[in-house]
């Protein structure tokens, strides 16, 4: 048995930031990671565009991760890799971890969940046809190419135009695969415009909007993918089918926060499907905090780092008995809001909100009732808005309502 | 007078930048950029589009088979596939560290290809 102040599960961007922030407050911190090195998904994101907010310069994923790994080494934080959490016993405040050395019980005063997200798998899409090899999620392909030095196939189609899908289209092309196109169900691309330009247009890769995969065929290896146009309700339109002869189908169809470990007793947010937390990172269980993609899927790792730091700091403040979570109020999503983070406002911290609109909005006013009104333009669900409101400006005794009025 | 619109790829904001050109293709004005880097980007898009390239090189005797690399500045787009061809045959010996130069002054552009992932030596027994 081991006693620590703060146990952090997951050494990705959120977990590393949380562990460092907690240690800075003087806490004894244990950081547990299932992979063989800290860094999380950053390790395989070798493209650039990270760190513009947090470091004010542009970094690749591995560079961003390495800065934090070095900080961890200097911090004296006990970082355990190749360790997997089996169970969290909420009543005993006990966490059971397993590694090559065996099973260990840890008793933390506070727990921070930084478990990230998983990719939506092929099985959940219910696409008819055969079940051959050659169908991958984008993150798996990214790992094969960028970490393991393996190519998944020769000719690929990509389903889903989120940023990961777009970035993998470019990556596969650079490594010598032929990418015949990116298929997107929505009438607009899911990823950032800059990625449509630098990942698709630069390489003449076609983007098929309002289209989806309706069948996959292949005996052992994938041979054909059937794509059809869809109507406004995303139903395939008969007669529009066309066949792509590819041996590889790459899925970039969304991320799902990884919450299974404790979802029996920690409240899950209905819109984000991640842990419901307050602006301190505190979950519905007072001693358990969460940060990063396990709470809401972020656009930028910089935001994940900020929220990780808040959770780390707040976990220590909680241990010290300083009122974390005693006076929090609901933050409620209204009209036109798709995703809203956080779930509760705790007046101990400033309120940083992350919002995704429910549908594209050309012009509107974002309203935080009684606190703030802000004009917005050209918003799409794939772009997250971040709004910071000082705690002194919020006088909320009941609830904070957030909505967007279209103009 | 002609005009062109380009999307800046330098940061996630993705500014839509409008460039006015005269009949000979000379740039008259640039608008819509929210920072000075965007102006330079838009001018390059007209004259000679440039991109930062990120990829990997093989590592000999490393704890990982690959080290990721990037060009430490943008290079002309037309060189991207040639760069990939060159880097396909590049092998570095572990250990390598972030910032180590793999290829200096590539295509005489004053841009270097540098390591973005530190890779240590393979430990025995593996």
pLDDT of residue B95: 97
DSSP H/E element including A366: strand A361-368
pTM score: 0.94
pLDDT, tens only, A34-92: 999 999 999 999 999 999 999 999 999 999 999 999 999 999 899 999 999 999 999 99
- Give yes or no for A73 touching B (CB within 8 A): no
Contact check, Cβ <8 Å, A66/B98: yes
- Give yes or no for A70 touching B (CB within 8 A): no
- Give yes or no for B90 touching A (CB within 8 A): no
Which of chain B's residues have a Cβ under 8 Å away from the Cβ of A303?
none
Which of chain A's residues have a Cβ under 8 Å away from the Cβ of B65?
148-149
Contact check, Cβ <8 Å, B116/A62: yes
Which of chain A's residues have a Cβ under 8 Å away from the Cβ of B52?
48
The whole-angstrom distance between A196's CA and the closest CA on chain B is 9
Contact check, Cβ <8 Å, A46/B58: no
- Give yes or no for B12 touching A (CB within 8 A): yes
The whole-angstrom distance between B102's CA and the closest CA on chain A is 16
DSSP E strands: which ranges in B1-126? 2-7, 16-21, 27-31, 50-51, 54-60, 66-71, 75-76, 91-93, 101-103, 113-115
pLDDT of residue A23: 98
- Answer yes or no: is pLDDT of B105 > 80: yes
pLDDT band at B125 (very low <50, low <70, confident <90, very high): low
- Answer yes or no: is pLDDT of B118 > 90: yes
DSSP A195-253: HIIIIIGGGT--EE-SEEEEEEE-SSB--EEEEEEB-TTSPBPTT--EEEE-SEEEE--
Residue B75 near residue B53 (C-beta atoms within 8 A): yes
Extract the residue ranges of chain A whose pLDDT is less than 70: none
Phi/psi of residue A69, each to 5°?
-65, -40
pLDDT band at B123 (very low <50, low <70, confident <90, very high): confident
Query: Smallest Cα–Cα separation from A97: which of A111, A114, A83, A109?
Result: A83
pLDDT, tens only, B6-38: 999 888 778 889 999 998 888 999 999 988 989
- Of all residues in chain B, the one with the smallest CA distance to A63 is B116
pLDDT, tens only, A168-193: 999 999 999 999 999 999 998 988 88
Mean residue pLDDT of chain B comes to 93
pLDDT, tens only, A311-320: 999 999 999 9
Which pair of tokens denotes residue B115? 């390591």
């Amino acid at each position: 048995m081991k006693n620590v102040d703060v146990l952090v599960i997951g050494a990705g961007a959120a977990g590393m930031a949380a562990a460092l922030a907690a240690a800075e407050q003087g806490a004894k911190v244990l950081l547990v990671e299932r992979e063989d090195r800290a860094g999380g998904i950053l390790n395989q994101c070798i493209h650039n565009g990270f760190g513009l907010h947090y470091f004010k310069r542009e970094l690749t994923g591995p560079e961003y991760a390495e800065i934090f790994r070095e900080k961890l080494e200097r911090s004296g934080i006990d970082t355990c890799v190749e360790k997997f959490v089996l169970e969290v016993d909420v009543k005993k405040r006990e966490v059971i971890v397993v590694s090559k050395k065996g099973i260990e019980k840890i008793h933390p005063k506070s727990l921070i969940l930084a478990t990230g997200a998983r990719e939506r798998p092929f099985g959940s899409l219910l696409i008819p046809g055969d079940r051959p090899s050659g169908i991958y999620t984008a993150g798996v392909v990214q790992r094969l190419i960028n970490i393991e030095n393996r190519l998944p196939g020769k000719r690929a189609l990509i389903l889903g135009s989120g940023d990961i899908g777009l970035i993998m289209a470019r990556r596969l092309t650079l490594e010598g695969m032929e990418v015949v196109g990116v298929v997107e169900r929505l009438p607009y691309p899911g990823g950032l415009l800059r990625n449509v330009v630098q990942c698709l247009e630069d390489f003449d890769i076609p983007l098929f909007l309002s289209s989806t995969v309706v069948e996959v065929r292949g005996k052992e290896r994938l041979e054909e993918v059937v794509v059809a146009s869809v109507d406004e309700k995303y139903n395939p339109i008969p007669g529009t089918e066309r066949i792509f002869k590819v041996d590889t189908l790459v899925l970039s169809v969304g991320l799902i926060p990884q919450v299974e470990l404790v979802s029996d007793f920690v409240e899950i947010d209905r819109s984000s499907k991640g842990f419901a937390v307050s602006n301190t990172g505190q979950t519905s269980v007072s001693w358990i905090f969460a940060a990063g993609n396990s709470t809401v899927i972020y656009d930028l790792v910089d935001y994940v780092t900020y929220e990780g730091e808040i959770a780390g700091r707040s976990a220590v403040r909680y241990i010290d008995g300083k009122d974390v979570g005693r006076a929090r109020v609901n933050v409620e999503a209204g009209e036109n809001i798709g995703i809203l983070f956080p779930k509760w406002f705790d007046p101990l911290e400033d309120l940083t909100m992350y919002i995704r609109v429910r549908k594209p909005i050309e012009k509107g006013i974002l309203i935080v009732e009684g606190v703030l009104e802000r004009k917005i333009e050209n918003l799409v669900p794939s772009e997250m808005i971040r709004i910071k409101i000082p705690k002194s400006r919020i006088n909320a005794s009941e609830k904070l309502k957030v909505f967007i009025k279209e103009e | 007078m002609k005009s062109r619109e380009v999307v800046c790829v330098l940061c996630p904001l993705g500014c839509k930048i409008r460039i006015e050109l005269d009949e000979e293709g000379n740039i008259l004005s640039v608008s819509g950029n929210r920072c000075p880097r965007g102006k330079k980007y838009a001018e390059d898009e007209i004259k000679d589009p440039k991109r930062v390239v990120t990829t990997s090189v093989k590592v000999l005797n490393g704890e990982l088979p690959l080290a990721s690399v990037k060009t430490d500045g943008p290079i002309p787009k037309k060189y991207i596939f040639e760069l990939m061809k060159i880097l396909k045959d590049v092998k570095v010996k572990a250990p390598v560290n972030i910032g180590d130069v793999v290829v200096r002054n590539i295509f005489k552009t004053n841009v270097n290809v540098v390591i973005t992932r530190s890779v240590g030596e393979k430990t025995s027994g593996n």
